[in-house]
Amino acid sequence: MVLPIVYAGAPVLRQKARVLSTEELKSRAIAELVDRMRETMRAAPGVGLAAPQIGEPLALAVIEDRAEYQDKLAPEEIARRERQPVPFHVIANPRLTVLEAAPAVFLEGCLSVPGYAAEVPRALAVKVEALDHRGERVVIEARGWHARILQHEIDHLEGTLYIDRMDSRTFVATG
Ligand code: ZN
């Protein structure tokens, strides 16, 4: 079941999301929510979706960058973005550490700000400590586009949108 996505202006997008307990992460309710978030992300389509974007103020996000999403990009664009397919994964209660601050600057959009994009500087490499969909501790080290997706989704859990970090003069309508 595809869930409705909430847009900029919804208060839930500006709240700090609530931490989940390990028990909650092992619950049927969260497993179902994760399934629906995956379906919603794929239907959009998007490469990440945070729980606040479907109206749930929970520190939970799903990420997946499928190879087919990169078909339309030129090989040099993919290389510049350091973009590689990322298998579906879940992060809960993430803690982000910057490994390489040197910013990468690329156009970025958000399913909660549809029809627009802007250049956003992001750290080139990050480490994320989180729990996965089973409540197991995971450490993810990522660079390039995956690092960008992680930073974007973790921002959502803090009530931050890319428009807070963008170079506002690069803001464009895409739709
Ligand atoms: Zn977003």
pLDDT in tens, 12-59: 999 999 999 999 999 999 999 999 999 999 999 999 999 999 999 999
User: Does 2 fall in a domain?
Assistant: no
C-alpha 3/C-alpha 20 separation (Å) is 20
C-alpha 44/C-alpha 104 separation (Å) is 25
Residue 73 lies in a domain: yes
Domain-embedded: residue 124: yes
The answer to whether 153 is a known catalytic residue is yes
Domain coverage including residue 64? 11-173
Position 72 scores a pLDDT of 86
Total of domains in the chain: 1
The catalytically annotated residue of 24, 141, 153, 158 is 153
Q: Is residue 70 part of a domain?
A: yes
Other C-beta atoms within 10 Å of 17: how many? 22
CB 143 within 8 A of CB 136: no
Contact present, 153 and 61 (Cβ < 8 Å): yes
Q: Distance, CA 169 to ligand 1 centroid (Å)?
A: 19
Does any domain span residue 75? yes
Q: Which two tokens stand for residue 103?
A: 């910013």
Quickly state the pLDDT bin for 104 (edges 50, 70, 90).
very high
Domain contains 95:
yes
Q: Which CATH number do you get for residue 41?
A: 3.90.45.10
111-133 confidence digits (pLDDT tens): 999 999 999 999 999 999 999 99
* Cα 28 to ligand 1 centre (Å): 26
Q: 155 lies in a domain?
A: yes
Residue 100: count other Cβ atoms within 10 Å of its Cβ.
Answer: 12
**Within a domain: residue 150?**
yes
| pTM, full prediction | 0.97
